[in-house]
Amino acid sequence: MCKSAIITSLLILFVAATTVHAADSGSAPSKMTQTSVKSTETQTYADAYKQTVDSGKPLVVLVGASWCPACQSMKTSIMPSVAAQGGLDKVAFAYVNTDQQNELAGKLMEGGLIPQLVMFEKTDDGWKQKRLVGAQSVSAVVSFVGSAERSSVASKAQVQAKATSAASQQVGSSQAAARASAAVEGHG
């Protein structure tokens, strides 16, 4: 998927989330579960999206339904276990119920299979999207979510390497300029 399509999708999802929440009850936005090691918090998709935009953290969304056994396993067992291991500490996480937030879920999902764990992460090349479809093990989810951290670390290492290379080229140029200047002064 091209960069502009992913960015457009994220913006549409954000608008859809805020619209869906406003239409749900006419009062406060409906809450989605976010599991945290420190405490159990609730976070709307819109809040998780905002956290991602503000902090640069990857956005991880579990899309499922209350009638789906695999979805319930992911929501009530797998994701809390991942959180207990610290696997959700470096991401913004939200749960989207396909029955309650059908429009938003449809925009997040690829195909009709649930559960889907969708991750959006910002890279040097723009927003990237990854997904896991179907029930997953704790280790598979930890690895999936951890891949964002690994690519972020790799990206930071590449930026640092480029900066170091540029600095050494600049130092090399300064040294060459000093040698050239000394050679000119020696001949003059």
**Domain span at 160:** 3-183
CB-CB contact of 74 with 135 (8 Å): yes
DSSP per-residue letters across 24-57: HHSSSPPP-EEE-SS-EEE--HHHHHHHHHHH--
Q: What pLDDT is attached to residue 10?
A: 53
Q: What pLDDT is attached to residue 138?
A: 97
Interacting residues of 46 by C-beta distance below 8 A, sequence separation 6+: 14, 17, 18, 21, 29
Checking if the pLDDT of 47 tops 60, the result is yes
Residue 87, domain CATH: 3.40.30.10
Q: What percent of the chain has pLDDT over 70?
A: 56
The pTM (predicted TM-score) of the whole model is: 0.63
Q: What percent of the chain has pLDDT over 90?
A: 51
- Residue at 128 is within a domain: yes
Q: For residues 20 and 24, what is the distance between their CA atoms, to the nearest angstrom?
A: 6
Q: If you average pLDDT over each of 41-45, 56-60, 144-148, which comes out highest?
A: 56-60
pLDDT per position as a tens digit, 116-149: 999 999 888 888 999 999 999 999 999 999 987 6
For residue 151 the two structure tokens come to 């690519």
Helix (H/G/I), strand (E/B), else coil: 65? coil
- Residue at 37 is within a domain: yes
- Residue at 188 is within a domain: no
pLDDT per position as a tens digit, 78-118: 999 999 999 999 999 999 999 999 999 999 999 999 999 99
Q: For residues 170 and 25, what is the distance between their CA atoms, to the nearest angstrom?
A: 60
Q: Which residues pair with 95 in a beta bridge?
A: 62
Total domains, the chain: 1
